[in-house]
Structures are given as C-alpha cells and as structure tokens.
Structure 1
C-alpha cells in the first residue's frame, strides 16, 4: 500500500499573525476541494496533519471527502523561521536558498535543515511504525520539511533541487512496504494515482 505527503496550497499572507497561524487562500481552498473529489482522496483511510492552520484547513477538506477522522502530528510543522519573522517573498526565497544550500548552518536563527529533517523523519516514521500497512495514509504538511523528507526517502543529500513547484498544494507518494518514492511532486488536483494504487493492491 502507499502513503502520500501533501503540502498545503496557496496561503493568505497575514504579516500581523505568526506564520503558523496563516490560512489558505480562496484559491488554495478551491484547489483542495478539487483534489478531494478525486478517487485517490476518497481511498484514504488515515489523514495525519501538521498542527499549523494552513495544513489543518487542507487536511479537513480531504478528511471530509474520505470520511476519516483527522489526526494532528506533533513535530511535523514547517521549519522554524520565527527568528526572522515575516519576510517579503523575494527575501524569503533567498533565505530558503540558504537554508537548503547550507543545511548544517542556521540562517539568521532559523532551525537548521539537518535538524528539521531529523524532526520530520522521526515524526513520520513514528506514525508508520504503528500504522497498518494495508491502509493508505496521507501526511498533510509543508514544502520545506516535505522536501527534507523526500530527500531522506530518496537517500539523497539535502538540496532545494528536490523542492516542490511554486504555489504549494503538491504531493509525492511512497510505498509503505519499502518507503521508496513512487512519484515526484505533482499538483494535488492533477494527480491521477488511482491506477497506481490498484496495481499495488494486486
């Protein structure tokens, strides 16, 4: 069986709020609703989310489609960037480049990439160790730590070359038996993974 890691889609930037409290935008919500109408979404039997607002809002839409209860997962939030607070998009992208390029160093007080990777891998692994491997599961989270998890699953060094496309709302899939990547980042509303899952079930 399979697991997917899915990032929240587009957000509303709210500089007066801490970033973990930001919500998805109208566009982001519309994309999540489209994804929830696809067969892969209704096939999910477990949904685990970061406790950040934008991830929870995305997960709630998927949970409504699949009829499963939503669980939150400690330790699965985005890399801690609170030391710098809100950054304008251009400055943020430059900072993210530094975060991935020098994973053992902290950029202006940010959580180091190596530490964020260890945290997200431990959180996901802890869930999977007690999860029924016959049941498809979705982890709902964030682009930064999702990329770090993807690098780990691929056995590759931390690199932004493995980052998701712009806009968020992308997913990758991996096998529960071998933890091997099954597909690269794909927009959630475009993904046609049902045939793949049927093949894995045979």
Structure 2
C-alpha cells in the first residue's frame, strides 16, 4: 500500500523583535487554525515529526495528541539559520529571503545557504521515512519546506515554489517515492 507524507508549515506566529526567532510561539490565530484542523479531522497518520522551534512544536504537539501517535522532535527540521541577522522588518526580510532563494549557494547576510538548508531538510525527511512504515506528518517552516518541495519535485531552488503570503499554515503532500502531485495549499484543505 502506498504511503503518504505530509509537510505542514506552522501557522501565524506572535512576532516579538526582542526574542530569538526560534522561541516565537503561535499567535491566537495560529492556535485557532490548529484547533480548527483537529476539529475537522485528520488523515490516518502514524507519526508526527517536528522542528524543535516553539512555533512548530505548538503546531505539532496538539496534532500528535489528537491522532494518538508519537511526536518525534527533529533538530534538523529547523528553519534556515538566520541568527546572523535575527529579526528583520517585513520588507527587509522579504528582500533578504528573495536573495536567499535566488542565490542558493551564497550565505546572504550570514544566513545558512539555501543549498545547505535543503540538504539538511531532505536528509531529515528521507531518514525519517526509512524508519517508519505508515503515513507521516512533518511540521516545520515555510522556507525549508519550500526547499524540500523543490528537491522532491526535482526542480531548482526557486522562491516561486514558496508557500506564498498569509503567515504560514500551508501543506503539501506526496506518495512516498514519488513527486508531490501539487504545490502548497491551506492547512484547512488537508
């Protein structure tokens, strides 16, 4: 029987420029979207893997609890390392992210390169899929999720495959061993 894998980016976060980005949690809207997903029902998933960042864990933990399945923490699923700049105002962040995707082998402003982040997320997901026999949900971040999507589709790194505006909370899925059938969609459509 074909196995399915799902990649979900955390939904909206509470942005606090005074805190490290990886410690940001979900906003009220983000929590409500996770609760709404649980209320609508989830696919039959046997394990949830999550980035260690607070916003990802606050998304993954209630989903794993609702599914009654294990939650596996995976440091390698973290967002691309942006600690060199920390918080950037929205317009500056978007311009820097554009360069991150357009120049995948360059450390833009000291960020982890897109190519290195892609290798890390692909290895984490592939390793996880070797360890399990059922369907899996990976909960992480939009940037590395886009890099994973590009690798799975066999296309060059390009921001046009990004999840788009809206603050996250988007998902794509694929049959293990095959390319994703479609791109990102809202988590409400899972």
TM-score (ref. length: structure 1): 0.90
Report the equivalent of 1:194: none
Report the equivalent of 1:160: 159
Report the equivalent of 1:200: none
Q: Does 1:47 align with 2:48?
A: yes
Report the equivalent of 1:12: 14
Post-superposition Cα deviations, 1:158-187, rounded to whole Å, max 9, x if no partner, equal: 0000000222000000112x2320332111
Report the equivalent of 1:36: 38
Post-superposition Cα deviations, 1:2-34, rounded to whole Å, max 9, x if no partner, equal: 000000000000111110000010001101111
Post-superposition Cα deviations, 1:118-169, rounded to whole Å, max 9, x if no partner, equal: 010111111111211xx11100000000000000000000000000022200
Report the equivalent of 1:116: 117
Report the equivalent of 2:61: 60
Distance 1:38 1:64 in 2: 15
Q: Which runs of 5+ in 2 are unaligned?
A: none
Distance 1:62 1:17 in 2: 26
Post-superposition Cα deviations, 1:62-84, rounded to whole Å, max 9, x if no partner, equal: 11211112110121100000001
TM-score (ref. length: structure 2): 0.95
The ranges of structure 1 where at least 4 consecutive aligned residues each deviate by more than 3 angstroms after the TM superposition are: none
Distance 1:36 1:47 in 2: 14
SS at match of 1:92: helix
* RMSD over aligned Cα atoms: 1.1
Distance 1:179 1:52 in 2: 28
Question: Which shows bigger deviation, 164-173 or 150-159?
Answer: 164-173
Distance 1:154 1:168 in 2: 20
Could you tell me how far 1:42 is from its partner in structure 2?
5.1
Report the equivalent of 1:198: none
Distance 2:73 2:17 in 1: 25
SS at match of 1:55: helix
SS at match of 2:125: helix
Q: Does 1:3 align with 2:5?
A: yes
Alignment of 1:76-91 (within 5 A): 76-91=77-92
